[in-house]
Amino acid sequence: MSTFDDRERAYEAKFAHDADLRFKADARRNRLLGEWAAGLLGKEGEEARSYAMSVVTADFQQPGDEDVFQKVAADLEGKADQATIRAKMAELLVEARRQVVDEAN
């Protein structure tokens, strides 16, 4: 094995690790967003948890965040505007990343 091969493996491992953290942070953000939206919709307990999970699974419909945004925006029509939802998504992504990194350490 050469140093180049070792370095290549290290980069590949780091890329896979970073991708895994991004996936976990996105899923966590979606759950947090679902919990926030559930509160605005007056859902509590199991109903709120179920709704939050429906937001998480909405992310698997198409690449990117737009599918999650569209679901939450449709559900919160009249309760939160698009700018508020997008701002909350950005805020919660920061929080989700922090949580995921803290759990990984």
pLDDT in tens, 34-84: 999 999 999 999 999 999 999 999 988 888 889 999 999 999 999 999 999
pLDDT at 14 over 90: no
> Is the domain covering 25-104 a CATH 1.10.790.20 domain?
yes
Helix, strand, or coil (residue 43): coil
φ, ψ for residue 55 (rounded to 5)? -70, -40
* pTM reported for the whole predicted model: 0.86
Helix, strand, or coil (residue 61): coil
CB-based contact 96:23 (threshold 8 Å): no
Estimate to the nearest angstrom the gap between the alpha carbon of 103 and the chain centroid: 15
Amino acid type, 97: R
Domain ranges of the chain: 25-104
